[in-house]
Structures are given as structure tokens and as C-alpha cells.
Amino acid sequence: MKPINKFLFTFLAFAFVAVNGFSQSTSFRLPTFDKFILPNGLTVYLMEQHEVPMINVSVVLPAGAIYDGSQNGLAALTAEGLMHGTKSYSKSQIEEELDFVGATVNAFASKESAGLRADFAGKDKDKVLDIIYEILTSPIFNEEEFEKEKKRTLVNLEQEKERPSAVIGSYWDKMFYGNHVYGNKINGEISTVSKLNVADLKTFYKNNYQPNGSAIAIVGDFKTKEMKQMITHLFSEWKRGSQKSGNLASKPVTPPAAGKVLLVNKDDARETTLYIGGAGVKRSNPDYVALQVVNTAFGGRFTSWLNDELRVNSGLTYGARSNFSALKNAGTFYISTFTATKTTEPTIDKALEVLQRLHKKGFDDTTLTSAKNYIKGQYPPRFETSGQLAGLLTDMYWYGFDESFINNFQKNVDEVTSQKAKEIIAKYYPKDKLQFVLVGKSADIKKIAQKYGPVTEVQIKDDQKKAF
């Protein structure tokens, strides 16, 4: 028999570790970084990584959809508009300059914040950082490009109504958060986006894009002293602002007082897409790590209880998961899956049965150990690249956790005992006052929906704002 070659041996060894989890002795520590704050309030993170001659940039700004007001979609279009030209570069010049050096720069908005991501060769840092600075501080919001982006957005909003999985999350947020700003739909509504103009973008930019309250993380092949001088010189000219709207998301979220069902009718649906859940946690919750361990076993991986029961054992669906969606000031928990219309009721009942079993039985040591090994094995690869590390640093800034969360992560995972898991389940997993969002054909599933609580029916073809 031919001897196994070194490459194959290494591959098999890695595969074994990936399947069985990293050993107890394996630990991950966040590499050393520098942090400083410019006089204008901009927080800067610098981390040297010399393995490859690349630099990655991550920027976070307090300019997400929570600041849209009644103009849903404004934050998203403003972020897109950053790339449509600056005082020194037209849109085509930005694209040509970046393409010439093989760099990428993207701007976007999320629920709470806006962001920018970039990667480029270390030798091109002067040119690319100058472009990034202009994009963040001197956008012109070209009207012609805005109209093109607006049309694309409207087409996408129309098309997503054909895909329940694309809209159920925003229905869930609106149902749970109601009039709180966390209920704002990131990409907006057809009725709101169609009314937006360039002047709206300029006003939103002026009110929300400012250095104070923002952070930039730069990770990669550079010398910290040199980069600190460059960033200080470049970004100190960005004038400090005063965000007029304040921290809108800090207002308390009122949890639902009773269970209820939102039925989103899609007349041609052959499947039911569904969420079941309730209140979750905010990102700074001290039990966040323990929750990740418990949820891995319950519904966070392919071999979880939920997926085993709903897919493997019963064949009711191709997949089922559970998730704690944690924001800065609040969060939700939900079970998500889909099934054929005719199996809607047994699928919901099975999901509820698994949730009840979680509360009654909890996890045995074998299941918990498997989940802990899985999550420890998954953790280090999430922060292997400079881009991942840059994103981690701006997450640390935005959500208010420090390197101890990273450095102690595996230790904190190991400390989740079966007793701790029971406490986590009892405290954070809902078992009554459950909220349901069902997207499917109302004529076939409305009677089923009524089994689980008072039903509010809306039409998927309508704007979500009209539904509430």
C-alpha cells in the first residue's frame, strides 16, 4: 500500500479538528492593537498584520436605518450615494482608480449603523486612504447616479415580494418592535423610497455622518507609527458634528403582552415560511457567550435539536434554525423554517414541541460538550483574515465590548455547565406569549394560524407600513 503523503495527512488532520472541535488547549487571543481618539472624536484602531501585503479598513458610523424617520430607505440610499462621487473624484474616477490598483471599497447601511469596508495592497495606502477619506467626508450625491440607484432599489423591493425569505425578517421586526426605530425596514418601502430625492440624502448625511460617535479600524501590512501619523493628518480635518436626533434606539422596547400571529398572504405560495419566538437579548448581555453555546445545541447548527426533529426525523422541512438577533439596545429570539403548505400545522407543532422539550429536559452533558467543542472550533477561523479583524474592532467599538470578550471566549465556553445551561434556558428562551409570522397562502393556512393566537392578516403585495 502506498504511504500517505504529507499533504493528505495534513488535510486529514485539519478535517478531524474541524469535525471534532479544537482541543481544550487551543486558545485564540486578539492580536495587539493601538487605539486612540482624534480631537474631533473619531476613534481609530490600528493593528499590524504582516502575513500578506494587504490592508483592510472597516468604518462604522451612527447613520443606520433607525435614523430614517418616516423616510424608510433613506439611510441605505445615502450610504450607496457615498460612492457616486466626491469633490475631487467622479464616480467613474473612483472606480477607475480603485480598479487600477485592485482595491475594493464598499459603503452600506444596516439597522443601527452605516459602514464602509475596503481592502487594498499596502503599497497603495496613500492613494486608497485618500479616496476613502473623500468618500466619507466630501460626497456630492450625484443626482443622475442617485436616480439610477433609486430605480434599482424600487425594482428590488418589488422583486423581494416574490421571495418570502427575503421579507419575513422585516415583518418580524415590525411586528415585534412596533413603532420603535428597530422596526424600521433597512431598504425601505416602495411608497417611501419613491419620494426620496438628492436633497434628502444631503440632509441625512449632514445630520448623521460625523467623526464623533464613529470609528475606523485599519488592519494589515503597515507600521503603526507611520499609519498613526497618516490617519491623524488625514482625518483631523473632518469637522466634529452634533447629531440632532440623538440615540433613538435607546428608548425602551415594550415586549408583547400576549401571543399573536401575523399572517402575510401570498396567494400563489405553495410553502409556508415562518418565524416563532419572542424577546431576546441585547449584544452586551453578560450571558451572550453562554447563549451561543446553548443555542448551538438547540438550533444553531445542522445537528441541532431543531434540525434533527424537523428535517432529519420528520422530513417536514429542508432546514430549521434558531437565532438570537442581538442589537445594541434590544434583541429578539426566533425559530425559523419553511415547509409545504399542507405540512404547516405539523411543522409548527413540532417546533413548539422541541421548544417545550428544551424547557423540560435541557441538555445532557454529551450534547453540551459537543456544542462547546463545535463552537470553540468555529471561533478562531472567524478572525483569521485582516478583514475579519478590522470588522471585529469596529464591532467592539459599536457594541461596547473589549478584547477580554475575545481572549476569554473559549474559557467562558468551557464554564457553561449543564446547570448554567438550565438557567440560561429558563431565563432567555420564551415559552409563552409567543409571536408568530407566517408567510403563505391565507386561504389554506388561516384556520391553522388561528390555533396559535389572534391573527392579523396583511398582503405581501402591499407596503409593510400599510400593514401595521
Burial of 401 (0-12, 13-18, 19+ CB in 10 A): middle
The single-letter DSSP state of residue 90 is: B
CA–CA gap between residue 140 and residue 134 (Å, rounded): 10
* Angle CA 180–183–188, to nearest 5: 130
**Under-70 pLDDT residues of the chain:** 1-26, 243-246, 380-381, 467-468
Domains of the chain (ranges; CATH) run: 34-246 (3.30.830.10), 260-401+409-467 (3.30.830.10)
SS3 46: strand
Considering the entire predicted model, what is its pTM? 0.90
CA–CA gap between residue 210 and residue 233 (Å, rounded): 17
Size (the chain), residues = 468
Task: Check: CB of residue 263 under 8 Å from CB of residue 442.
Answer: yes
Going 154 to 159 to 161 to 167, the CA torsion angle's sign is: negative
What confidence score (pLDDT) does residue 384 get?
82
Over residues 283-339, the pLDDT tens digits come to 999 999 999 999 999 999 999 999 999 999 999 999 999 999 999 999 999 999 999
Going 189 to 194 to 199 to 202, the CA torsion angle's sign is: positive
Q: What strands, in cross-sheet order, belong to the sheet with 104-109?
A: 34-37, 43-48, 215-220, 54-61, 114-121, 104-109
Task: Check: CB of residue 293 under 8 Å from CB of residue 415.
Answer: no
Residues 6+ apart with CB under 8 A from 270: 340, 341, 441
**Angle, in degrees to the nearest 10, between helices 344-361 and 418-428:** 130
Task: Check: CB of residue 174 under 8 Å from CB of residue 180.
Answer: no
What confidence score (pLDDT) does residue 249 get?
87
Q: What CA–CA distances, in Å, run from 373 to 30, 133, 303, 329? A: 20, 42, 13, 30
Task: Check: CB of residue 65 under 8 Å from CB of residue 184.
Answer: yes
What confidence score (pLDDT) does residue 6 get?
36
What confidence score (pLDDT) does residue 378 get?
83
Pairing mode of beta strands 215-220, 43-48: parallel
What confidence score (pLDDT) does residue 113 get?
96
What confidence score (pLDDT) does residue 12 get?
36
Task: Check: CB of residue 254 under 8 Å from CB of residue 449.
Answer: no
